[in-house]
Structures are given as structure tokens and as C-alpha cells.
Structure 1
């Protein structure tokens, strides 16, 4: 199913504009993440798609060619997974998954067939007879997904699906969720404030700020070609290099960098993995912090810009705090963006 939102907005009675007029298209079978900080409007947008919030006059929501803007939630045929999962704790896994089908008054053989089908897809067969209270957080997540998908909804909506899990589980279940969503072959939209989660799971990410979508694209497009200072900083934690641009040169406190193009009127950003310790580098700084993270070291370097510059350093050893270092950054690793493109 294809989703199209046109001029979709939400203003609350007290005048609060939770969502500014927004456009969004989600293709059939596509997995799209609404990514942004708290209060940016992403959950409001998801609730409007679900039919849990009424949008402002002039908004338009199409499921394929069906205008569902005024359709109540129970008639939209969307599956929903919330942060809390909202499962029945003392009911078995099988009974939880079949509950929605029972409410639809489907024949018992059809219910059994569909429940068995999603138990297999979600690899829950060994737990079918267990009570929800006897399951781990990861297993509960799979039950919530199975229950949402069993009625064969037109679309699956997920609100921060991993936020209820502890940090140790999140990474493995993030990958598992990406696989499961693709096995369902269903259009899916999920809300998250976690950029790693969005990049790992989604085919396309819509970055939101202050009530509207500021950029939409594949994870690679957003990471490599952000259209604003806000997106550069929010997706991949790019750092701003404050300096003086003269043509294709950027003058910093710690030296001069070559730019990939004329930097006049532009601000320059770089990511930590592109800041390299290099004995022949044109920049000079001092190591302020060294953090060992297993696969790499995170170095904090002062003296190059007014703030501490972060470098991702791969190797068996790292410089020591207080060491003077030379640093290089390749011109094609620098991102030039128009000034004044912070979050609007």
C-alpha cells in the first residue's frame, strides 16, 4: 500500500502547532523512519496516519487512492506497535496474537491458521503456550509485532519499538526487527529519536525538526549529503569547523585546510571518522581525552578549532593525553552547507 500525505498539519486548541503543513509519500512495501528529537512532531504525524489524531482542515491522507483523512482508526486497517507493547500479561502468546482476530469474529480455523503463520515468521513457535509474563523483553517485542501483523493490516505503524528494552538487547533486536519487517512485505512507518536505529532499519529516513520534515532520503543520502546544519549534526554527529574561508582554503586555529570547493558563505562540517592522526597533516593540536571503545579509540583534540575536535582512531594503540599531534582531513570528507541552516 502507498501512503501519501498532503498539507497535513496539527494545531491543538491552545494554539500549539504540533505539526506544520507536511508532505510525505511512502511507497508500497517501503520501511520509513520518522527521526528527530523529542517534541519535533514525529509521534503526532504517526498518530494522524493511524487515525488517533484529527489533522487540521485542508490536510489530506491517502491510502493508495482511498482518502482516509476523516476515517476513524478502527476502519483504517493499520497495525500498531507501541512502546509498552500493551500485551495481556497472563494470556498465552497464541491467545495474545489471536485476540484481534477473535474481535473481528473470524472463523476459528482461519484464526488458527493466521496465528500459526505469524508464529513461524516471528520464530515464536516454542513459546506459543507461554504466558507473556514468562517472556523476555525481546520475545515480547516479537509477540507485539506478530499480533499487529496477524489481522493483515494495510500498513504497520511502530512508535519507538525498541525504547522499552535495555541497552544490551537493543542492538541485536534492532537487526532482528529489520529482518522481520522485510519478511512481512508490508509498508511500515516507525518513530524513533535514535539515529542508529533509523539508519539500521529503514529504507528511507524522514528527519523532522520543529514540526516538519526537513530532509528525506536513504540513510546513505542523509549521512553523506545533508541539506542543513541540523541534519548534518543530528545524523552522524558531524562537527562544525569554525574558521575563515578564503576561496578553497579554510583557516582554522590549528592550521589551514583545503576545501573541495569555494567556501565563501558556507559552513564546513566533518565527521569524527574523517579526522585522522597523520604525522604529515597540516593541522596541529593537543590530545585532551582518550576513550577506548573496543573497536577504536575516541580522541578529543584541542587547538584546531575553538571546541574540542573528536577523532575516531583505529589501531592497537593511541596517543596519550597531553601529546601534540598532527591531523589531516581530506577535502572530499568535508561537507559545505549554506550558513543559517540550523533547525528551523
Structure 2
């Protein structure tokens, strides 16, 4: 059943299709024509249209962008198409083809943010090879990895662009995190490197902290009670509190509380929930405050059962025996 968002997408798609048919409208504005063509592909994707239609819309956007000679715009189309091949169609061969095309366009770019998108594609390409158990024997992919790291190191050493250099170092560490997760080692070293970068970023107001925050929060669901991660988490929320205020710190502590709860770190969870309650009360964030209060409930229920001898043993601080609590408790 189509929802209100689908209806809105359908209206937008029909409107753009109508505009694109009017060639006179885009005289002297071919850039906007490419943008509108790309948007129709993304809208069709969101509506779940057949792949042949979605690919056809991407083809049209690519063709016009290539004729314009705007390689950055062309790269963005390739990037969105590769993302679509991976997440919508699970087409590894197409993702691989598009990665090579994207690499050729931006590997020598003087703008580090182009390489940020290439790192995103590298992440999913690496994941595919891990699933297929070909990662350690794929020499071609190893060469792609080496080229990407070399390009990032070039940006990282550019003292004339300090924020770009810091971001290039960040991307290199995020690649290290992926490698550490795959190999099952060196994770603390990568986490320490992120903390060092965050310390330097305090003097760079234009450093984009949000992607790092999101990645590190996602990582918290995997590493559980790792002490180095706990230290990193505290650094991140201090950084965020300075930039966007105490309410964001409260939200982050709330999510970390639920992660601690799932990892069996009950007393750590209580600490995070209590801090979240205080911060969210001060900032009048009612729904998040309720979640922080609710987070205490399974903890205290566990403690009552443990004291009453119902057979549930107290969890030790190594996090054995996960307590499955929904991440978004209403």
C-alpha cells in the first residue's frame, strides 16, 4: 500500500518528467537538466520501480552530464548509481564496475570530499568481498585499496589545507577500522587514532564531525563494552556538546545506555541513563526523557530477579549473556 511519502514522490516524479520534456526550459541551464534527470532516477528508486526504468533514468543523466564535460557532476551520478546497485539490487558486479569508473574520475582530485564518497564505495566493496570470502585473494581490489590510501595520504600531508588534511586522516582511520573489524585485531589502536583526530578538530570549526559521530555510534552496537570505545564515546559527546549543546549529549548518552544494557553492563547503563535524564530534563526533550526513564526498568527488574533467586544469575562485567532490549523503546 502506497503511503503519503510515496504519493509525494510520485507527484515529484511526474512533475520533473513533464519539465524535462520541455527542452526550451533548459536552454543555458544544462547543469539543472542533469540534476533533474538524476533526481528522477532517485525518485523512481524510492518508488520501487523496475530496475530497467531506474537504470534508464541513470543512463540519461550520465549521457547528458558526459556531454557537458562536468566530471564532478558525472561522478555524483556514478556514485548514486553504485549505491543503488549495492543497496537496492545487491549487484556486486555492477558495483565493482562503477567503483572502477568512480576511481578513475576522482582518485587524483584536489578536493578531498570527492575521495570521501570513494571511501564509502570502498567500504561496501570490501564488505562484499568479505561475504564472498575473496577479500584476501583479490589482488585487483588490493590495488584499488592501495591507490585510495595513497591518495588520502597525499591530502593528509597538505599543510596548506589543514581541515582537508585532517579529514583525509579521518578517512584513513575509518579504513583502518574496517580492516580491524575484519581481522579482529588492532581496534583499540584505530579508536585511539580517532581520539587524537578529535582533539585536533577542536581548533577546526569547519571539520565535519557528524559522519564520525554516526559511524562511532554504529560501532558501539558492535564493540559492546570495550573500554577504549568508552573513552572515545566520552570524547565524542564532549565535542558534540561544545558544538550543538547539551541536548545532543543527552541523546547520545541515551543511546549509549541502551547499548550498555544490551551488552549486559547494567551499572554502566544506569549511569548513562541517569546522565541522559538530567540533560534531557534541562532541555525539555520530553520523548527522549521518557526513553531515559524507561531504560531503568529492565535494569531494576533484573536486579529484583537476581535478589529473589529466580535462576537469573547476575551478569559479570565481561558482558556475558546479552539482555535483548529494543533500541527504540517507546
TM-score normalised to structure 2 length? 0.31
Q: Select the structure that is richer in helix.
A: 2
Q: Select the structure that is richer in strand.
A: 1
The answer to which structure, 1 or 2, has the higher relative contact order (CA under 8 A, 6+ apart) is 1
TM-score normalised to structure 1 length? 0.30
